[in-house]
Amino acid sequence: MVIADTIFSKIIKHEIIADIVYQDELVTAFRDASPCAPIHILIVPNFLIPTLNDVVEDHEAILGRMIILASKIAKDEGIAEDGYRVIINCNKNGRQEVYHLHLHLIGGCLLGPMLVYRDI
């Protein structure tokens, strides 16, 4: 399996230290280095899918694993009952910062509005 050279691939390969909460053959989950809530965990595929636009049918098992893992981690972190948010940003206007598909699992507090439009 080839892993592209992104900051996330370096975390997946343990070349960069991160607080990894889960890893298997398909996905890796780790705490965000700059969290926006008490619980902010990123779930990424172990190989490069740059954006949500690059997902194909062959990725179904990986995407399913990412969603199921988000639910499991939310329970393990104690935020499932009160609620949490799952976000996938896509491209520039979606504010994607790392072009390695990733899911944000965010919770542990009352979260703000889903989206605030600002003409920037």
Active site residues: 102
Please tell me the distance from the alpha carbon of residue 3 to that of residue 84, in angstroms, as a whole number: 30
Specify which residues 84 forms β-bridges with.
107
Please tell me the distance from the alpha carbon of residue 12 to that of residue 18, in angstroms, as a whole number: 9
Helix, strand, coil proportions of the chain in percent (round to 5)?
A: 25, 20, 55
Q: 57 phi and psi, to 5 degrees?
A: -55, -35
**Ramachandran region, residue 91 (left: φ > 0; alpha: ψ -120 to 50; beta: rest):** left
